[in-house]
Structure 1
Amino acid sequence: MIASAGLRPIPETVSSSSRTTRFALTLAAVLTLSGCMTVGPDYQQPQTAVPAKWSATGEVEAPDATVLAEWWRQYQDPVLDGLVADALAANLDLATARAQLREARARRTLAGAALGPSLTASGSASRSRTSSESSSGTTSDLFSTDFDASWEPDIFGGLKRGAEAAEGDLGASAESLRDTRVSLVAEVVLNYVELRTGERRLAVAAASVAARGETFDLTRWRRQAGLVSDLDAAQARTELESARANLPALRTAVTEAQNRLAVLLGRSPGELVSWLSEADIPQTVVSMAVGIPADTLRQRPDVRAAERRLAAQTARLGEAEAARYPSFSLSGSLGLSALSLDALGSTGSVTRSLLAGISAPIFDFGSIEANIEIQDALLEQARLAYQAAVLTALEDVENALVSVANAGERHTQLIQATASAREALQIAEHRYASGLTDFLNVLDSQRTLLSLEDQLASSTGELASAQIQLYKAVGGGWSPTDSAQDTRTAS
């Protein structure tokens, strides 16, 4: 139940100047009270304990902000640069995030507008004609205009808290846009690496098919000459068909990567097939500077967004607590009417009214307290979500650092193993041609080399992907300049 009361216009026995003075004093008192008392907790930046260094690497130098903002350019691949640029311009998820930022900005304006007064104006014009049997009748005109003003003084700060909540939502939306940008860039580069890795593996498999085809033909001719057995020919045929069986799955992986890139660029699947000619896997970065954990928390948009949501929810708790207290309203109107348009404001009649009102909760079956409890629980959830975002960010970087180190070590070992396998195959072929070993050793050497070449191609892609994940983990892919551009685009 809400109780309300209003002060009606003062009787005519009181002079106009007295009424004006009294209302002015009332208004001054309300203005003095307004803003002096803001209920609810004031937001304070959360203090989170973070390690001084990474456990995987110890202390490392801070990243260069310019390099981190456009980290993919280190691969020096013009095709990749073009794909990222097109994705940033046309990706649908990024466009949706920009629209959400636009919505949040409008909601902040709406919440801020509630703090100020409103003024409306209206006007009308009418003409009437009266007639009688004894005369031709008379015509009269009436013109009127009205001005209405209203204001709700924010005595207990509920509207202010609402504006603070909208400001926090706007900040969270801006950070979510940045997070979408970070994820998009990483996904484009990851899929590009998958595409080039698939192409490399497909080339290795095709070369293996060609080599085994030559081996099979040679074995068949030697069998016809009676130099080798039927078993050697059958084994050569088995190896050839086994190599051919690897091709369809690799072609599928290449096509899927092409289609995924097309969708990320806001295009239909298949549109990039003719545009993306084969190229090497992007060269891995020699060294990466990731800074300290505190640097990551400052750079990660998802952590920054969680902090802004916490600020917004803190304000919403205060907004809910303000509902416990009375609300006040002030309104006034001025009406002018005259028989001619020229007489408005001069000889016409004037109607004035001033009204002050108050509304206070008396009994509501506990709905206000329940809403306060809801907002307090949501505040606790926002606080826990922020802490979880911090831990997730630290986990992502630690895991990425380990992945980069291990992928690099495996890649180095595979390079050495592949070189040794290639040398072993040459020796086996030479010994077989000299009659010093059987054909099975040649096939085993071919099989080993194929496996290692395929693993090396995969390892090259895995190392590049691990570095990409590390750049994403530290929040790379955005800068204040990019954010300003996204903000203008969202306007």
Structure 2
Amino acid sequence: MRKAAFLLLGTLLAGCQFAPDHERPALPTPAQYPDYQPEPVEGVVPADLAWRAFFDDPRLRELIEAALANNRDLRIATARIEEARGQFRIQDAERYPTLGLGAEATRGRYATGASGASSGAGPGAGAGAGSAAGAGAGSAIAERYFVGLTVSAFELDFWGRVRNLSEAALAQYLATEQARRAFHLSLIGDVAATYLAIREADQRIELALETLRTRRETLELAGLRLKAGVTSALEFHQAAALLTQAETELANLRLIRAEQLNYLTVLVGGELPETLPPPVPLGEQLSPTRLSAGLPSDLLYLRPDIIGAEQRLRAARANIGVARAAFFPQISLTGSFGYASTELSGLIGSTNETWSIGPSITLPLFDWGRNEGNLTVAEARETVAIAEYEQAIQTAFREVADALAGRRYLAEQLLAQRKNVATLQHIADLANARYAEGVVNYLEVLDAERNLFDARQTLIQTLRAQVQNLVELYIALGGGLPVDRNDYGDR
């Protein structure tokens, strides 16, 4: 009978798993990225390339270091990991009985012949009435002492409720950790993008200042020509309009730079370091390292947002097991073992040994749909978690595909833009020469100079976009966060 009971208990414990098995949904994206390259690109897997090795600008590296050390949002994300870890430890401890050491001493007056005086109560029950002194007719004073181990109410997890609660807490903890990793990557990308925007503004401001100096000289020359009667007032005001254009653009660029610098201060978490290495020009920011995109399925192991979404799906499925187990009886066990006596001396001894054990069972009968409602909620949350997981994969796929497209077409755009600037520079030189010879009026020079200035500004913008695109590809592929696939596979 004993063997049969143990066999039945083992069968119940092994067979009652109400949580759905965890299976990854089918990949909701194409198996390959769009073919934006005329030939295959061989390169380094971003996850194997640390961000310090990826960024060549020493000033940018120091700014990222400062942001990772001081950014307040990253501190919050890290603290939430500790919170989730603590919640998991609390929940996981429910799977094991809680042992405690207890001691008790009581002294009281009891009616003679009452059960309390003869048999005692609590842990010291069965120890006798104890020493009594005459305290009036029909009553006695009794003393009782107890010391021993106690087990608080411990649930026998036949239906996997406590185990699934622990699984859900573990998955939430891992999801929180991945959220911090995702923010870590996002912070690196934000610092790099803001820094590149400042570098772009610096070079455009330098271009605007150079243009401003040239156009002031041109305006002074036009003023002399106007006084000499060589040119008209119209041409003088056209030269003044060119100067105003450069002054307006310069003010706008300084505003953009100030705003980006303020945002960088927030990202870094305080004032920028006083001693920073000299910056690297935009044209030298492009890393010679080629990045390999791999396959979309690789993102399941490389992107922390996808890994976190999968952990939340695990938690949702574990909670379904919790909701299903609520339909079955909940069995708890309490007990104690120790020594009880009416005398403190000689308390510890075989004659004073006492123990107790007591199971309790709770079976839901009428809950007016409460358990069914909880199960419906848990199943709905699983559906939401599946959709969020698939959405995270689709978002990652789009970000990588966009960056791959940018890698090709921004290079083509930059090449065309360089040719355009060279052509417009030639046109401006010819227009100025023809104007000096009196062949054309100043309107032709005005148009040529305005077009050249706009093209040179656009060239700097395109160059910054190309560098930022490379950073976006690195971040989109999970760069800078090495991942062991075994850590996030099926447990």
TM-score under structure 2 length normalisation: 0.83
> Which aligned pairs between 1:16-415 and structure 2 lie closer than 5 A?
30=9, 33-48=12-27, 50-57=29-36, 60-61=40-41, 64-65=44-45, 69-71=49-51, 73-124=53-104, 143-150=145-152, 151-267=154-270, 271=272, 280-281=281-282, 283-285=285-287, 287-338=290-341, 343-346=346-349, 349-415=352-418
**Whole-angstrom distance in 1 between the partners of 2:319 and 2:27:** 23
SS where residue 361 of structure 1 aligns? Answer: coil
How much has 1:213 moved relative to structure 2?
0.4
**Whole-angstrom distance in 1 between the partners of 2:202 and 2:228:** 39
How much has 1:411 moved relative to structure 2?
1.2
**Whole-angstrom distance in 2 between the partners of 1:333 and 1:204:** 84
Quote the residue 1:472 is aligned against.
475
CA displacement, residues 145-182 of structure 1 (integer Å, 9 cap, x when unaligned) = 24211421111111111111112112211221111111
Quote the residue 2:116 is aligned against.
none
Query: Percent identity over the alignment?
Result: 29
Query: Counterpart of 2:80 in structure 1: which amino acid?
Result: Q
How much has 1:217 moved relative to structure 2?
0.8
**Whole-angstrom distance in 2 between the partners of 1:407 and 1:417:** 15
**Whole-angstrom distance in 2 between the partners of 1:351 and 1:154:** 27
Query: Counterpart of 2:305 in structure 1: which amino acid?
Result: D
Assess, with a 3 A threshold, how the Cα gap between structure 1 residues 72 and 347 changes in structure 2: closer, same or farther. Answer: closer
**Whole-angstrom distance in 2 between the partners of 1:75 and 1:361:** 61
8 Å CA contact 1:120, 1:148 repeated in 2 = yes
Q: Which runs of 5+ in 1 are unaligned?
A: 1-20, 134-138, 485-491
How much has 1:75 moved relative to structure 2?
4.1
**How many residues end up aligned between the 2 structures?**
454
- Greater displacement, 164-173 / 452-461: 164-173
8 Å CA contact 1:172, 1:306 repeated in 2 = yes
- Greater displacement, 146-155 / 62-71: 62-71
8 Å CA contact 1:185, 1:477 repeated in 2 = no
Query: Counterpart of 2:379 in structure 1: which amino acid?
Result: D
Quote the residue 1:17 is aligned against.
none
How much has 1:385 moved relative to structure 2?
1.4
CA displacement, residues 431-462 of structure 1 (integer Å, 9 cap, x when unaligned) = 33333433333322221221111111111111
**Whole-angstrom distance in 2 between the partners of 1:347 and 1:162:** 41
SS where residue 246 of structure 1 aligns? Answer: helix
**Whole-angstrom distance in 2 between the partners of 1:162 and 1:336:** 36
Quote the residue 1:427 is aligned against.
430
8 Å CA contact 1:338, 1:347 repeated in 2 = no
SS where residue 44 of structure 1 aligns? Answer: coil
- Greater displacement, 338-347 / 316-325: 338-347
Assess, with a 3 A threshold, how the Cα gap between structure 1 residues 377 and 67 changes in structure 2: closer, same or farther. Answer: closer
**Whole-angstrom distance in 2 between the partners of 1:262 and 1:162:** 42
Assess, with a 3 A threshold, how the Cα gap between structure 1 residues 62 and 383 changes in structure 2: closer, same or farther. Answer: farther
**Whole-angstrom distance in 2 between the partners of 1:285 and 1:275:** 21
Assess, with a 3 A threshold, how the Cα gap between structure 1 residues 475 and 380 changes in structure 2: closer, same or farther. Answer: same
**Whole-angstrom distance in 1 between the partners of 2:300 and 2:8:** 46
Query: Counterpart of 2:335 in structure 1: which amino acid?
Result: G
Assess, with a 3 A threshold, how the Cα gap between structure 1 residues 226 and 149 changes in structure 2: closer, same or farther. Answer: same
TM-score under structure 1 length normalisation: 0.83
Assess, with a 3 A threshold, how the Cα gap between structure 1 residues 470 and 80 changes in structure 2: closer, same or farther. Answer: same
2:398 pairs with 1:418: no
Assess, with a 3 A threshold, how the Cα gap between structure 1 residues 88 and 461 changes in structure 2: closer, same or farther. Answer: same
SS where residue 363 of structure 2 aligns? Answer: strand
8 Å CA contact 2:57, 2:280 repeated in 1 = no
Assess, with a 3 A threshold, how the Cα gap between structure 1 residues 27 and 352 changes in structure 2: closer, same or farther. Answer: farther
SS where residue 42 of structure 1 aligns? Answer: coil
Assess, with a 3 A threshold, how the Cα gap between structure 1 residues 266 and 84 changes in structure 2: closer, same or farther. Answer: same
CA displacement, residues 111-153 of structure 1 (integer Å, 9 cap, x when unaligned) = 22111111112224578999999xxxxx998653242114211
**Whole-angstrom distance in 1 between the partners of 2:347 and 2:42:** 72
Assess, with a 3 A threshold, how the Cα gap between structure 1 residues 49 and 246 changes in structure 2: closer, same or farther. Answer: closer
Query: Counterpart of 1:310 in structure 2: which amino acid?
Result: L
8 Å CA contact 1:35, 1:157 repeated in 2 = no
**Whole-angstrom distance in 1 between the partners of 2:348 and 2:42:** 71
**Whole-angstrom distance in 2 between the partners of 1:366 and 1:100:** 35
Assess, with a 3 A threshold, how the Cα gap between structure 1 residues 302 and 332 changes in structure 2: closer, same or farther. Answer: same
Assess, with a 3 A threshold, how the Cα gap between structure 1 residues 398 and 65 changes in structure 2: closer, same or farther. Answer: closer
- Greater displacement, 231-240 / 66-75: 66-75
How much has 1:398 moved relative to structure 2?
1.7
**Whole-angstrom distance in 1 between the partners of 2:106 and 2:192:** 70
Assess, with a 3 A threshold, how the Cα gap between structure 1 residues 413 and 437 changes in structure 2: closer, same or farther. Answer: same
SS where residue 286 of structure 2 aligns? Answer: coil
8 Å CA contact 1:297, 1:393 repeated in 2 = no
2:455 pairs with 1:452: yes
CA displacement, residues 446-481 of structure 1 (integer Å, 9 cap, x when unaligned) = 212211111111111111222222222222232249
Assess, with a 3 A threshold, how the Cα gap between structure 1 residues 372 and 63 changes in structure 2: closer, same or farther. Answer: farther
How much has 1:56 moved relative to structure 2?
3.7
**Whole-angstrom distance in 2 between the partners of 1:383 and 1:78:** 42
